[in-house]
C-alpha cells in the first residue's frame, strides 16, 4: 500500500469547495484512496461527507493511502492538490483587458 503525508494548504481547511475538488480528483483517479487525520481512523477519500466530517483545518497534515497499479501516481496528484490553496480566488483579467 502506498502512502503520502501532506499539510492541507486551503485556508479554511478541507471543507466545502476544497473537499469537493479533492473528492472529485479521488474519484477520477480510479483507485481506492483513504484519508486520515493524525491518530485517526482512515475514511473513504471519495466521499465528500466523510472527508468533510474529518474537520481538517488549514495546515494540519493528513495521510493518504491507496492500493493499485496507479496508486503512486494518484497519490502524487492528490498531494499536489492538497498542497495548493483551493480557496484562492480565481485569477481575473485586469480591467480593460480584451477578452
Q: Give the chain's domain count.
A: 1
Q: Is residue 94 part of a domain?
A: no
Whether pTM > 0.85 for this model: the answer is: yes
Helical spans, DSSP H, in the chain: 16-29, 48-53, 71-82
The predicted structure's pLDDT at residue 67? 95
Q: Which three cell numbers stand for residue 4?
A: 503520502
- The CATH number of the domain holding residue 12 is 3.30.1340.10
pLDDT, tens digit, 9 for 90 and up, residues 1-60:
999 999 999 999 999 999 999 999 999 999 999 999 999 999 999 999 999 999 999 999
Q: Grid coordinates 485517526 are at which residue?
A: 40
Q: Is residue 90 part of a domain?
A: no
The predicted structure's pLDDT at residue 87? 84
Active-site residue (options: 15, 26, 36, 81): 15
d(Cα 33, Cα 45) in Å, to the nearest integer? 5
Interstrand relation of 33-36 and 43-44 (parallel, antiparallel or unpaired) = antiparallel
Q: Is residue 92 part of a domain?
A: no
Query: Has 58 been annotated as catalytic?
Result: no
Amino acid at each position: 500500500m502506498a502512502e503520502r503525508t501532506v499539510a492541507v494548504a486551503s485556508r479554511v481547511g478541507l471543507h466545502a469547495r476544497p473537499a469537493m475538488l479533492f473528492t472529485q480528483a479521488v474519484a477520477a483517479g480510479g483507485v481506492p484512496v483513504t484519508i486520515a487525520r493524525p491518530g485517526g481512523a482512515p475514511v473513504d477519500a471519495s466521499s465528500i461527507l466523510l472527508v468533510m466530517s474529518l474537520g481538517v483545518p488549514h495546515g494540519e497534515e493528513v495521510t493518504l493511502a491507496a492500493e493499485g497499479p496507479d496508486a503512486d501516481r494518484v497519490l502524487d496528484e492528490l498531494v499536489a492538490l492538497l498542497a495548493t490553496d483551493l480557496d484562492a480566488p480565481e485569477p481575473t483579467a485586469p480591467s480593460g483587458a480584451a477578452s
